[in-house]
Every structure is written in C-alpha cells, then in structure tokens.
Amino acid sequence: MKLIIAIDGHASCGKSTLAKALAKELHYVYLDTGAMYRAVTLYFLDNGIDYGDPKATEEALKNIRLHFERVQAQNHIFLNGRDVEQEIRTSRVSEHVSQVAAIPAVRRMIVAQLQDIGRRRGIVADGRDIGTVVFPDADVKIFLTADLDVRTSRRHLEMAAKGIDANWEDIRQNLQMRDHIDSTRRDSPLQVAPDAVVIDNSLLSEKEQLEQALLLVRRAQERLAGKMS
C-alpha cells in the first residue's frame, strides 16, 4: 500500500516544505530533487565547468556522486562525500541552477537515480518534472504554486534566516527568470500533469496545505485498497 507521491511546482512555492511534512507524517522517504540539481550546479561552478559545452558536461558528470544523510534530524545532501546543504542554497547557485537543470545529460543522470530509489515506493519527491517524467505513474500528483510576490517574500525570509543578505527585487527577478526557463526548456519543461491536483498556497498555512495533501493521499490509498479487494 506504499505510495509514490510527486510534487511539482514553481520555484520557491514551498514544494520541499510540503514534501518533508508529508514524508514525516507518512514515514516515507523524502527525495529532495532540487538539492540534487543544485549540488550538480555547485560542482560545475566550483570546478569551472562550461556547462554550455556538452562534452565537458558529460565528462564532469562522471565525477559527481550524490547521496543524502540525516544531520541533526535534517535531510542533507552530500557532494562527493562533502556536506553542501548550505552552499547549494546561495544566490550564486540559484542564478545558474535552472540552466543546469535544463541540460539533458544532467536530467538523465538525476532521473535515473530517482527512479532507482523509487522502485521501493513509499517516497515523496518534489521538483519540476516529477509527475510528468520521473514518476509518470505516481499515485498522487500535486502541482504547487503561489503568487510571485508571496514566493519572493518567502525566499527572502528563508535566506535571511540562514544569514544570507539578498536584495528582495533581485530575488524576484531571479524567480521570474527561473519560472521562464523551467517552463520553456525543450527537455522536460515544467507543466501541470493531466492527473495532477493544483494547490495554490498563497493564502494557505503550512498546516492547511498539508491537510489538503493528506486528503489526496487518503483518497489514493482508498482507490488502491478497492483495486486490491
């Protein structure tokens, strides 16, 4: 009866917040796909990789190893054995991650890793193409969105809490740029899956959006139980 739950949506609309809460509530594994793309981006930036060069990109990907560990009760991503959870959240990485995530070779690597983990089911994954490409047969598909200014304020507060000084308007422009790149890229663009439920959380609390998601989960569990009976 374990499910595969896919959460897609725009940048900084709270996908990871909802995914983590669902995983905790259901005792499922949380797959932070955004962190995986950010870690690849960090590697490219730190090593001066021209990600516009397909050959250089393919070679660089061979040297990247990603895994997750629990650190002080939090999910942290490790890049080649190094904890980079804080580094990947900086504006430096944010300015490049959408371009890197649009590279077919990068997407193939990440998707393969995710699908391998997903075979065990009992997972919650969030990203841009989870319900359309990575897990097209997911039992629950949610498309999360929110007003741009609301997302900008949330991102600004998140960065400030981590001691990162960032300009509000710069963040807004970055989110607009990422939305455009994510929605118009040729490979696996951000879109609402036909069987996804759209949740606009602009005016919802974290508890309220979790309750809506849990309702969808219960309905999916009931459907599966009906098929098995």
Distance of CA 23 to the CA centre of its chain: 14
- Two tokens, residue 130: 């989870």
Q: Which residues contact 58 (CB under 8 A, 6 or more apart)?
A: 105
- Two tokens, residue 115: 């699908």
| SS3 category, 126 | strand
Give the C-alpha separation, 110 to 40, whole Å: 9
pLDDT recorded at residue 113: 86
Give the C-alpha separation, 42 to 39, whole Å: 5
Q: What are 29's strand-pairing partners?
A: 123
109 CB neighbour count, 10 Å cutoff: 18
Indicate the class that CATH gives domain 4-224. alpha beta
Round the average pLDDT of the chain to a whole number and report it. 92
pLDDT recorded at residue 17: 93
Residue 184: exposure state from Cβ atoms within 10 A (0-12, 13-18, ≥19): exposed
Residue 69: exposure state from Cβ atoms within 10 A (0-12, 13-18, ≥19): exposed
* Model pLDDT for residues 14-51, shown as the tens digit of each residue: 998 999 999 999 988 888 888 999 999 999 999 999 99
- Two tokens, residue 36: 């995986």
Residue where the block lists tokens 């959240």: 89
Q: What is the pTM of this model?
A: 0.79
Give the C-alpha separation, 69 to 32, whole Å: 11
Q: What is the mean pLDDT of each run of 10 residues along the chain (229 residues)?
A: 93 92 91 92 98 96 89 86 94 92 92 87 91 95 97 92 89 93 86 96 96 97 86
- What is the domain partition of the chain in residue ranges? 4-224
pLDDT recorded at residue 69: 82
